[in-house]
């Protein structure tokens, strides 16, 4: 399972009027670096002076905190509140805190920021990302200023206004967007098989898939074949299930994407969310990462410029294994340590003696199997939930990132994979070949 969007919609709360983020020190532009993991953007923030990491997500209207990593944060006035969104149950409880100082980068600051705090520790998805993640920020980040996202340089540029936009704007394609309930929407053409259908889609940076469609909201919807039942992610109210398949084409203006993967939540998973009028689904970051993007909420515009990933194929986790980061462990590592020694017969002369047999202990990541799709190659090979993964194709996983493991599982159909695990103190090895469970098939 790919890591997917966990928090998709607030339906019981709305953004209160506030001044919001401003660029400080009279600058026209400020630049913010980010980490890109599984197509998702993670930015450094300071909340009341405490450094944290947030997911940047156009699909939420509020700023959400669900983990502090045991750091002490001085919150202002707190009150209880309830959230609702994707998943089977109706609502969960949390807290609302106002008048917080939120700083992003060196010059992007909101001195009176509202934060919603989720108390349920199960909503911390750090283990599925591989880095500590403390929260999510959405509409407030984009509200006051045009924002450029460059997936190649992994930098975000925030502009004072439209007059500060890049000089090469002629190389971008302009798209009209609507901003409804503090989220951006675009019109696209969805071609399931042979017929294009105009569809209103949420532009969703917090969704790592290419495309989501809601069959319950699309008249006479027919699932393309082949398709598979799968766990799609987690919403505010529980796990989200549905189907995965491919469609023929997706069109954003003149931009065309062939055989993109789609996820389709079941009706039960979306029963408690309030959709904007005529919405059919979402465009996710597997599409958006193929561009340099500029969002201009104030002027209801989006600008796209193709990058080198525009023509990439759409790959699925062909192992069927959901890997997670399971903390860290001490690991012995042999290193060459140079020890300077004083030569008593040579005044201040120093000799260096190298001891190739010295060791040090370092903290290394630990990974395990969080889940596995039935009838997938990993499932058929015999892997099980809870297996501790120690090597993949002869490489120790302690020297890999979670992102690199997931990329390997999406890499190439037919690729041989050998995974060594520890299960009940026993070391076991399993071999299988990657297999796409949902190749696109043209109608006969």
Residue of higher predicted confidence among 434 and 93: 434
Closest residue by Cα to residue 113 from 79, 85, 76, 73? 76
CA torsion, ordered 52, 57, 58, 61, to nearest 10 deg: -60
Same domain, 150 and 93: yes
Same domain, 184 and 269: yes
Same domain, 289 and 325: no
Rounded average pLDDT over 340-369: 62
Per-residue model confidence as pLDDT tens digits over 87-135? 445 567 788 999 999 999 989 999 999 999 887 766 667 667 778 889 9
Q: What pLDDT sits at residue 4? A: 40
Same domain, 382 and 413: yes
Rounded average pLDDT over 59-85: 83
Closest residue by Cα to residue 244 from 255, 257, 234, 259? 259
CA distance 340 to 351: 6
Rounded average pLDDT over 429-442: 87
CATH number for position 71 = 2.40.70.10
The DSSP annotation for 228-279 comes to EEEEEEEETTEEEEEEEEE-SEEEETTEEEES-EEEEE-GGGGTT--PPTTE
Same domain, 278 and 369: no
Same domain, 176 and 192: yes
CA distance 99 to 80: 16
Per-residue model confidence as pLDDT tens digits over 22-51? 998 778 999 999 999 989 999 999 999 999
Q: What pLDDT sits at residue 10? A: 39
CA distances from 268 to 3, 20, 237, 241, 264 (A): 21, 36, 11, 9, 12
Last residue of a domain, one of 239, 272, 306: 306
**The pTM of the whole model exceeds 0.75:** yes
Residue 257 pairs with which residues in a beta bridge? Answer: 250
Rounded average pLDDT over 265-278: 76
Closest residue by Cα to residue 189 from 181, 180, 201, 177? 201
On whether residue 392 sits in a domain, the answer given is yes
Q: Is the Cβ–Cβ distance between 208 and 1 less than 8 Å?
A: no
Model confidence at 17, in pLDDT bands (50, 70, 90)?
very low
On whether residue 429 sits in a domain, the answer given is yes
CATH number for position 397 = 2.30.42.10
Q: Give the domain extent around 49.
A: 22-164
Q: Check whether 432 has a pLDDT greater than 80.
A: yes
Same domain, 100 and 29: yes
Residue of higher predicted confidence among 332 and 46: 46
Q: What pLDDT sits at residue 316? A: 86
Q: Is the Cβ–Cβ distance between 24 and 100 less than 8 Å?
A: no
H-type helices in 129-262, by residue range? 139-142
Q: Of 178-187, 196-205, 219-228, 292-301, where does mean pLDDT reach its minimum?
A: 219-228
Same domain, 238 and 112: no
CA distance 412 to 312: 12
Same domain, 225 and 251: yes
Residue 388 pairs with which residues in a beta bridge? Answer: 368, 422
CA distances from 158 to 145, 185, 281, 287 (A): 7, 20, 28, 22
Same domain, 278 and 338: no
**In the chain, how many domains are there?**
3
The DSSP annotation for 383-442 comes to --TTPEEEEETTEEGGGS-HHHHHHHHTS-TT-EEEEEEEETTEEEEEEEE---SS----
On whether residue 11 sits in a domain, the answer given is no
CA angle 184, 186, 189 (to 5 degrees): 155
Looking at the chain, the whole-number percentage of residues with pLDDT higher than 70 is 81
Q: What pLDDT sits at residue 347? A: 52
Same domain, 155 and 208: no
Same domain, 353 and 246: no
Rounded average pLDDT over 166-193: 95
On whether residue 209 sits in a domain, the answer given is yes
On whether residue 13 sits in a domain, the answer given is no
CB atoms within 10 A of CB 60: 26
Model confidence at 3, in pLDDT bands (50, 70, 90)?
very low
On whether residue 442 sits in a domain, the answer given is no
Q: What pLDDT sits at residue 223? A: 85
Length of the chain equals 444
Q: Is the Cβ–Cβ distance between 151 and 305 less than 8 Å?
A: no
On whether residue 17 sits in a domain, the answer given is no
On whether residue 334 sits in a domain, the answer given is yes
């Amino acid at each position: 399972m790919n890591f997917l969007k966990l928090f998709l919609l607030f339906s019981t709360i709305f953004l209160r009027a506030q001044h919001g983020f401003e660029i400080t020190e009279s600058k026209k532009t400020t630049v913010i670096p980010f980490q890109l993991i599984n197509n998702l953007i993670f930015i450094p923030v300071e909340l009341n002076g405490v450094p944290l990491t947030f997911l940047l997500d156009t699909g939420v209207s509020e700023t959400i905190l669900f983990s502090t990593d045991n750091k002490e944060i001085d919150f202002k006035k707190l009150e209880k509140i309830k959230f609702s969104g994707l998943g089977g149950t109706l609502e969960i409880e949390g807290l609302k805190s106002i008048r917080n100082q939120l700083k992003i980068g060196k010059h992007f600051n909101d001195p009176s920021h509202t934060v919603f705090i989720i108390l349920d520790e199960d909503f911390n998805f750090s283990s599925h990302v591989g880095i500590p993640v403390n929260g999510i920020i959405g509409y407030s980040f984009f509200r006051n200023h045009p924002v450029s996202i460059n997936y190649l340089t992994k930098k975000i540029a925030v502009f004072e206004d439209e007059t500060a936009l890049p000089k090469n704007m002629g190389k971008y394609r302009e798209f009209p967007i609507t901003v409804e309930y503090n989220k951006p929407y675009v019109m696209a053409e969805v071609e399931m098989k042979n017929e294009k259908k105009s569809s209103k889609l949420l532009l969703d940076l917090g969704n790592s898939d290419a495309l989501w469609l809601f069959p319950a909201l699309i008249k006479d919807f027919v699932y393309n074949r082949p398709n598979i039942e799968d766990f799609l992610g987690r919403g505010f109210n529980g796990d989200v299930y549905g189907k995965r398949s491919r469609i023929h084409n997706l069109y954003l203006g003149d931009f065309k994407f062939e055989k993109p993967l789609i996820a389709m939540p079941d009706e039960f998973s979306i029963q408690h969310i309030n959709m904007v009028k005529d919405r059919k689904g979402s465009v996710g970051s597997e599409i958006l990462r193929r561009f340099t993007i500029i969002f201009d909420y104030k002027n209801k515009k989006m600008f796209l410029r193709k990058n080198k990933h525009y023509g990439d194929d759409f790959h699925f986790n062909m192992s069927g294994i959901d890997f997670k980061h399971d903390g860290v462990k001490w690991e012995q590592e042999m290193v060459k340590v140079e020890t300077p020694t004083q030569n008593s017969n040579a005044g201040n002369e120093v000799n260096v003696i190298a001891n190739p047999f010295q060791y040090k202990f370092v903290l290394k990541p630990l990974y395990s199997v969080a889940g596995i799709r039935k009838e997938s190659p990993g499932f058929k090979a015999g892997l099980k939930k809870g297996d501790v993964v120690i090597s993949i194709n002869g490489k120790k996983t302690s020297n890999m990132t979670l992102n690199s493991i997931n990329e390997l599982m999406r890499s190439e159909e037919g690729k041989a994979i050998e995974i060594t695990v520890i299960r009940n103190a026993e070391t076991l090895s399993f071999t299988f070949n990657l297999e796409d469970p949902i190749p696109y098939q043209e109608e006969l």
